[in-house]
A = this chain, B = another copy of it.
Amino acid sequence: MSSTPRSGSGSQAALRGLNTAALVRTLTAAGPQLQADLARVTGLSRATVSNIVGLESAAGRMRTERVLRDGRWGVRVSLVPEDWIVVGIDVGRTHLRVAGCDTARRTFGDREVALDQGHAPEDTLRLASQLLDELVADAGFERAQVRRCGLAVPASIGRDGAVVQQSVLRQWSGQDLASFASGALGIDVVVDNDANLGALAHAASAPGGNDGTLVYLKVASGIGAGIAIGSEVYRSTSGLVGELGHVRVVDGGQTCYCGSRGCLETIASTRSVVADFERAHGGHAVLDDVLAAAAQDDAVALRIVAEAGDALGRVLAVVCNLLSPDVLVLGGPLASVGKPLLDAVVASARKRALPAAIARTRFRVSEFEPRAEVLGACLLALQASGIAQGTITTK
């Protein structure tokens, strides 16, 4: 880093602090500037400006974009104003979760409410809007400071922005969801599949960045995976990715809502696990009953969870053979069972995958559960607003 005529300190760090302050002053006074102009105005070398802008961008305090000026490409630098925030919404079959996130990637005020199955998009978004108003106000922001909203849905989004068919949210199919939600919320909305956003949340939070392949498997009423390769979420042209819930694991098994038989979801989804628990124990149950029974070492509950884990591992063995991922994160409500599920998944996958393909794969239960999807939605909204990926923290 080069020095400047202004600074008398010998310390590199002190020098960088002075130089950074000079850039911030200029950007505050004059607004966004070309990097080349910043060097000229401040008298700092181009290398110094470039270094500082790089460090500040990585820390989320500056933002750069390539712009065309007089027929040449330049880099325009802006301060990331601390006075705007983004919000994330995670819509499931029977839940709605919202959270806020500031430009330093600190999340705040997340809250969840239960929804009736078959909830209508307009009702759900109206409710989300109310919840967002509350959490924004509680955090001391104005609604006008909400720059963008990330929306996680248990459905695939095509390149045209429409929800692709065969979602567990049938009533949302075919919608141009981003436009619809933008209209309903009065905020710019970016939308993505919930498992993709779960993968994004975990990849962004890997210490030093995600340097390999991370697979996030969400086990809820549906079962889907998101894939992050380095810092990028894998996306297909069709919009569908990670539809592991509809891999056949039992020939001639139960009929699935997709029309096929013996799909993974007929054994390992929360719906199937609860139904199995009801059949075995008799009477009505919800997932919390299964989780509580498993926590108390109830043999029936543990066996049902182990069967689900075995089926999940059978499919994940194929994923390991194909992609040899570095990290495999189990998320979604069933992952709350913890060790009994994880152990069954790992044993089943290791038994079936080629040893060398799975040897390096680190399996774990999501540390963000049940917030992974809404955190991913916040990160997506930050990304769309020009803030690079990085570790997300809780305020």
Contact = CB atoms under 8 A, between A and B. Distances in A.
B356 A247 contact: no
A324 interface: yes
Interface residues of A, number: 48
Contact of A322 (B212, B241, B260): B241
A359 B323 contact: no
Contact of A317 (B46, B165, B166, B247): B247
Number of copies: 2
A72 B45 CA distance: 10
Contacts of A156: 356
Contacts of A246: 321, 353-354, 357
A84 to B, nearest CB: 32
Contacts of A243: 321-322, 324, 354, 357
Given A45-B71, A213-B237, A244-B321, A258 B354 contact: yes
A236 B359 CA distance: 12
A321 B247 contact: yes
A355 interface: yes
Q: Which of A238, A239, A318 has the most CB of B within 10 A?
A: A238
B322 A238 contact: no
A240 interface: yes
A21 B292 CA distance: 77
A108 interface: no
A72 B47 CA distance: 8
A284 to B, nearest CB: 31
A110 interface: no
Residue from A72, A229, A322, A359 having most chain B Cβ neighbours under 10 A: A322
A324 B71 contact: no
A247 B357 CA distance: 11
A212 to B, nearest CB: 4
A190 interface: no
A355 B166 CA distance: 9
Interface of A: 45-47, 71-72, 156, 164-166, 211-213, 225, 227, 229, 234, 236-244, 246-248, 258, 260, 315, 317-319, 321-326, 352-357, 359-360
